[in-house]
Amino acid sequence: MPDDKRSQDSATRDQSLQGQQDQEQQAERTDFLREIVQQDLASGRVKSVVTRFPPEPNGYLHIGHAKSICLNFGIAKQFGGRCNLRMDDTNPTKEDVEYVDSITTDVKWLIDGWADDLLTLKPAGATPGVSKTSAGEDDFYLPGLLPADTAGQAVEPFYASDYFEPLYNYALELIRKGKAFVCDHTAEEVDAMRGSTDTPGTESHYRGRSVEENLDLFERMRAGEFPDGARTLRAKIDMSAPNIWLRDPIMYRIRHASHHHTGDTWCIYPMYDFAHGLSDYVEGITHSICTLEFEVHRPLYDWFLDALDLARVHPIQREFARLNVSYTIMSKRRLLRLVQEGKVRGWDDPRMPTISGMRRRGYPAEAIRAFCDRIGVAKRENTVELGLLEYFVRDDLNKRAPRAMAVLRPLKVVIDNYPDGQTEEFEAVNNPEDPSAGTRKVPFSKVVYIEQDDFREVPPPKYHRLSPGVEVRLRAAYLITCTGVVKNPATGEVVEVHATYDPATRGGDAPDGRKVKSTIHWVSAAHALSTEVRLYDVLFTVESPDNVPEGGDFMDTLNPESIEVLADCKLEPSLAAAAPGARYQFERLGYFCADPEDSKPGAPVFNRTVTLKDTWAKIEKKGAS
């Protein structure tokens, strides 16, 4: 479903164009993860590919998640597989349905028209089916449904919490095998006994409990007989392992807390390391792709899978380096702080690096995908320049955004020799990059607004725009020459410019072939739509707000000028019909998007998505320095 109200044929054109690009890119793009998948397929270790995107519903998805989504869906797409959306919700105290909903929306939006056909969900309310293995053990399996197979039935994302019962079962099995035990040590004791990086830990006093006692205690843990923190279930591995995570890690903790998805059914909750790999297994995941910090957990991921006698092929975990983008932060905790402390208007504030924020700001999903494709994937720490993301936004919007004229900081121009009360209409091209976008009518009259930046009483070197005695073109209208200015006597500020037009230049071309150095945009004062436009800049003033120096706080680097609200901009009247979410290029300024929340019928409010490249600003800056 297109996210805005573009015409049907325009949306179709975008899709076929995108499809071609995807094919081209995928034919050549490869990375170490795709090579692993390729080899697994070639060797027959797996016969098809199933990946998963497993966010914890404790915050909104951001551009870093977009990288992961594009990777997981991209791999599935490239190798004819599928990708499950799973809420990794094993901690009841941190998660919330608000996040489940936003995550689902954001994933669908990001992959729409690209990989939405392989987004695997499951029937609403479905839990894993059980079958007996040849060894007589329970095998839990919950395959998902592709959109093509749902046939109108209600579906929902997968939830790790839907596997609490199977997981409990697997835990029991581990206890029976003597590979897990109930431990009564306090959190502090466990912590102290874990040892340190260079000294081995100490075994739990309860490590030698009998299978029967462990079974009994674990069942009573589930039954709610013990308070929070009283006991844990631990894997029995090796307290002197050099890898800390192998030192009898905790599998279950007691939490008498309501869970957003399972309610009060449980008071024991599985830990990530125990739950994740087995959740992957239950869903039939073949390749479990995560970020680098989980690399040291990989032996544990494999240990749980190997410790059980599982019937089907094991998933494998592989890790890649998370995305960092300059001038922004990726930590969900910190993003939450921005929201809670009111530094932004919400998770979807257009300044946020969240998917919902970028969507609201006007970033097309295609641009975000192209960005993720271009940055590649590897294992080294990386910080991608924000400019690259913006490049893809401009690149995409340039091809599809209809042009319009808008004056952000109006300066009145009176064309003295133009007849009072006369109005005429000019035909303006909607998109010079796309002839099929057609033209529109723009009204013109004696008084027009131009951008304050487009007039200088004393033009600096190389300034080609309007100034006294200079002739410029009003885009698609007439050539005009500045004849004088009116100033505010108190401040000396130019409040009005006077000009004359050449009637022979109707449409913008001079019959005598004379050239002008500059074309500027304008809006007829009598016809202008006055509305609010919001300009955005980076949220932080430093390249790496995540790495603030000792004693500092990332909040100290917030950009006080990250938003500028212009209350009375003058737009060409056709923009009154802008649908919420519709994207335009305001000529010579940038790309703008009608805010989906604040726009009213006939009264859109615009967000600046990204500026156009500004060569003049560069020249001016160079001249100043």
Q: Which residues are catalytic?
A: 56, 322, 332
Looking only at residues 33 through 92 of this chain, which bind RNA when binding is defined by CB under 7 A?
A: 35, 54, 56, 88, 90-91
Query: Using CB under 7 A, which of 124, 341, 600, 622 touches RNA?
Result: 622
Strand-pair partners of 266: none
Smallest gap from residue 536 Cβ to RNA (A) = 18
Query: Using CB under 7 A, which of 186, 210, 439, 488 touches RNA?
Result: 186
Looking only at residues 417 through 446 of this chain, which bind RNA when binding is defined by CB under 7 A?
A: 431-433
Smallest gap from residue 118 Cβ to RNA (A) = 23
Residue tagged 């290029």 (tokens): 585
Smallest gap from residue 169 Cβ to RNA (A) = 18
Residue 457 binds to RNA (criterion: CB under 7 A): no
Query: Using CB under 7 A, which of 165, 219, 295, 598 touches RNA?
Result: 295
Q: Which of 108, 456 has the CB closer to RNA?
A: 456
Query: Using CB under 7 A, which of 23, 197, 436, 625 touches RNA?
Result: 197
Residue 132 binds to RNA (criterion: CB under 7 A): no
Query: Using CB under 7 A, which of 8, 134, 615, 625 touches RNA?
Result: 615
Which span (341-349, 383-391, 529-537, 596-604) binds RNA, by CB under 7 A? Answer: 383-391
In eight-state DSSP terms, residue 539 is S
**Single-letter residue type at 352:** M
Q: Which of 600, 622 has the CB closer to RNA?
A: 622
Q: Does residue 159 contact residue 87 with C-beta atoms inside 8 Å?
A: yes
Residue 244 binds to RNA (criterion: CB under 7 A): yes
Token pair for residue 309?
């006698």
**Single-letter residue type at 487:** K
Smallest gap from residue 297 Cβ to RNA (A) = 6
Count how many residues are written for the chain: 625
Smallest gap from residue 26 Cβ to RNA (A) = 14
Rounded CA separation 82/530 (Å): 48
Which span (148-156, 215-223, 239-247, 351-359) binds RNA, by CB under 7 A? Answer: 239-247
* Beta pairing, strands 82-87 & 119-120: parallel
Residue 376 binds to RNA (criterion: CB under 7 A): yes
Q: Does residue 497 contact residue 414 with C-beta atoms inside 8 Å?
A: yes
Residue 473 binds to RNA (criterion: CB under 7 A): yes
Q: Which of 204, 349 has the CB closer to RNA?
A: 204
Smallest gap from residue 39 Cβ to RNA (A) = 10
From residue 24, how far is each of 17, 19, 21, 28 by CA, in Å?
Answer: 11, 9, 5, 7
Residue 269 binds to RNA (criterion: CB under 7 A): yes
Q: Which of 179, 318 has the CB closer to RNA?
A: 318
Residue 222 binds to RNA (criterion: CB under 7 A): no
Helix (H, G, I), strand (E, B) or coil at 611: strand
Token pair for residue 124?
């609403």
Query: Using CB under 7 A, which of 3, 4, 31, 116 touches RNA?
Result: 31
Task: Give the number of other Cβ atoms within 10 Å of residue 138's Cβ.
Answer: 15
Rounded CA separation 615/202 (Å): 66
Query: Using CB under 7 A, which of 9, 198, 341, 420 touches RNA?
Result: 198
- Picking from 404, 450, 423, the residue whose alpha carbon sits closest to that of residue 577 is 404
Q: Does residue 339 contact residue 60 with C-beta atoms inside 8 Å?
A: no
Helix (H, G, I), strand (E, B) or coil at 457: coil
- Picking from 414, 398, 161, the residue whose alpha carbon sits closest to that of residue 276 is 161
Residues that contact RNA, how many (by CB under 7 A): 91
Looking only at residues 553 through 612 of this chain, which bind RNA when binding is defined by CB under 7 A?
A: 585, 587-588, 612
Query: Using CB under 7 A, which of 82, 122, 236, 253 touches RNA?
Result: 253
In eight-state DSSP terms, residue 267 is S
Q: Does residue 142 contact residue 101 with C-beta atoms inside 8 Å?
A: no
From residue 600, how far is each of 163, 189, 402, 528, 548 by CA, in Å?
Answer: 45, 60, 20, 17, 41
Smallest gap from residue 269 Cβ to RNA (A) = 6
Report helix, strand and coil shares of the chain as percent, to nearest 5. 35, 25, 40
Rounded CA separation 487/421 (Å): 25
Query: Using CB under 7 A, which of 228, 493, 564, 568 touches RNA?
Result: 228
Smallest gap from residue 613 Cβ to RNA (A) = 4
Q: Which of 22, 587 has the CB closer to RNA?
A: 587
Query: Using CB under 7 A, which of 97, 146, 187, 577 touches RNA?
Result: 187
Query: Using CB under 7 A, which of 17, 146, 211, 296 touches RNA?
Result: 296
DSSP secondary structure string for all residues of 40-79: HHHHTS-SS-EEEE---SSS--BHHHHHHHHHHHHHHHHT
Q: Which of 244, 603 has the CB closer to RNA?
A: 244
Looking only at residues 297 through 326 of this chain, which bind RNA when binding is defined by CB under 7 A?
A: 297, 321
Q: Does residue 286 contact residue 84 with C-beta atoms inside 8 Å?
A: no
Q: Quickly list H helices, 177-297.
A: 187-193, 211-223, 272-283
Phi–psi pair at 372, nearest 5 degrees: -60, -35
- Picking from 494, 472, 468, the residue whose alpha carbon sits closest to that of residue 482 is 468
Residue 462 binds to RNA (criterion: CB under 7 A): yes
Q: Using CB under 7 A as the criterion, what x/- string covers residues 86-105 for binding RNA?
A: --x-xx--x-----------
Query: Using CB under 7 A, which of 342, 380, 421, 549 touches RNA?
Result: 380
